[in-house]
Amino acid sequence: MADLEGLMQRYRSLVPGIMESVLAGKRLLVVTHIDADGLCSGSAVFSALKRRGANVTVRTVPDLDPKTITELASQRHDFYIFVDLASTLVAELEAALGGRYLVIDHHEISEADIGNQSVVNAWAFGYDGGREACSSTMAYFFAAALDPANSDLSTLAVVGALADRQESGPGRSLTGLNRSAMEVAQKKGLLMVSKDLMFTGRETRPVHESVALTSTPFLKGLTGSKDATLALLHNSGLELKEGGAWRTISSLGDDEKRKLTEAIAEALGSEPGATEALAGLFGEVYTFRFEDPFTPLRDAREFGTLLNSCGRMGLAGIGISVCLGDRSAALKEAMRNLSDYRSGINRALDAVTSDASRVEPHGRLVLVNGEGVVDERLLGPVISILTGSPAYKDKVVVGRATSRGNDLKISSRVGDLYEGAVDLGSVMREAAAEVGGVGGGHAMAAGAKIPASRADAFSKSVADRVSG
């Protein structure tokens, strides 16, 4: 059973020890993951410690492995806090750091480690860490235990949860521990929660641009194509301008919003899964009151996309600066990067969807060949977007892209409507190991690196495992 009080008691029991280290001027290191949930959670823990006067640094890593643990241990920090990482590496942390570490996480953890006093994991308190409690939310409640005045950091929990796709309630709403953090942000007056059409840039972009920027759900023929969307909306009779200025989706009245979805429905026509795609357009939207409406930080989902683009493109530090409140140089750089990231994804989507030879259906499995046309750093989002498209919602999609040193980067995702059980984390781990590569990840999203020369053997092994 969900036990928020138990979680808070656990955090409060850690506070005296942490404050003793802080007051003694010990060197603390926060280690976090480069995705949006990692950047938000690392920033929340860092801010909370800094506000109490700690001598603390934050560092991001793309993945934690035994080699990275040894390297971090050699830096001789006095105490290490790992967030969004390490739940499967507790034995290695114990060996390298003794008792000088704390793990705050939401990834699944073994029965043996669940009671470890150095580990605070969402699953141990009755929360489903994949749907109801992201790392940023776990980090926020840690910050709240350090000082109740940290309630402003609840906004980072909302961003992290949405970016981690923990929108498991009706209308893509937040649930569980994430919702508890969301309610704090709402009560503080920082966050508005409403029901609306969930288009990217709904408060800031011209209507047609908003529709073209939206990739969840993927709208075939419209996502990534401003011109096609503009032509469609012109024909729909919707007033796209007012007094010479473009209107935004949030300025449309209910009837106009209905007209807009009808026009989109017509464009999607008999596309398989079109009805689900349209149902996915209406839901709970999260708006930060004090963020500039003309930045991606205003909408919590876009804030998450901005951070994910920073992490993917090697700008994790910029992402952290934005989380810590930089609204000048870092935000500008992050916004420039987001724009490049979006165009890169659109180009890649176009390249793979316009060339039938790059998409091979094998029953419930679809293999996507992005070699030479998809930047490996963008492969994960490209495969996620494709899997969210009506045509592939009931499939497992596995993509590949050229990587360095004769390797291929692999990304795989399970569609929401896939019938049957598949654990992609094990599929990727086992199929990659068979061909001399390395793979792993979660049940619904996983990846690998394999030698390019073994691509066919790898694909065959994945196909056997998915259909078997």
What residues line the site for ligand C5P (CB under 6 A)? 380, 411, 438-442, 445-448
Among residues 420, 135, 148, which one has the least CA distance to residue 304?
135
Q: How far is the CB of 397 from ligand C5P (least distance, A)?
A: 11
Positive or negative torsion for Cα 34, 39, 41, 46:
positive
Q: How far is the CB of 417 from ligand C5P (least distance, A)?
A: 20
| Nearer Cβ to ligand C5P (226/442) | 442
113-128 burial: b if 16+ Cβ within 10 Å, else e: beebebbbbbbbbbbb
Q: How far is the CB of 93 from ligand C5P (least distance, A)?
A: 17
Q: How far is the CB of 159 from ligand C5P (least distance, A)?
A: 17
| Nearer Cβ to ligand C5P (181/385) | 385
| Nearer Cβ to ligand C5P (77/301) | 301
Q: How far is the CB of 90 from ligand C5P (least distance, A)?
A: 16
Q: How many CA atoms lie within 13 A of 202 on its CB side?
A: 24
| Nearer Cβ to ligand C5P (164/333) | 164
**For residues 106 and 86, what is the distance between their CA atoms, to the nearest angstrom?**
10
Q: How many CA atoms lie within 13 A of 94 on its CB side?
A: 10
**For residues 185 and 279, what is the distance between their CA atoms, to the nearest angstrom?**
27
Q: How far is the CB of 306 from ligand C5P (least distance, A)?
A: 17
Kindly list the distances between the CA atom of residue 338 and the CA atoms of 161, 315, 345, 352, 385, in Å, as whole numbers in the listed order: 19, 11, 10, 21, 16
Among residues 203, 208, 233, 217, which one has the least CA distance to residue 279?
217
| Nearer Cβ to ligand C5P (61/81) | 61
Cβ atoms within 10 Å, residue 259: 17
| Nearer Cβ to ligand C5P (304/380) | 380
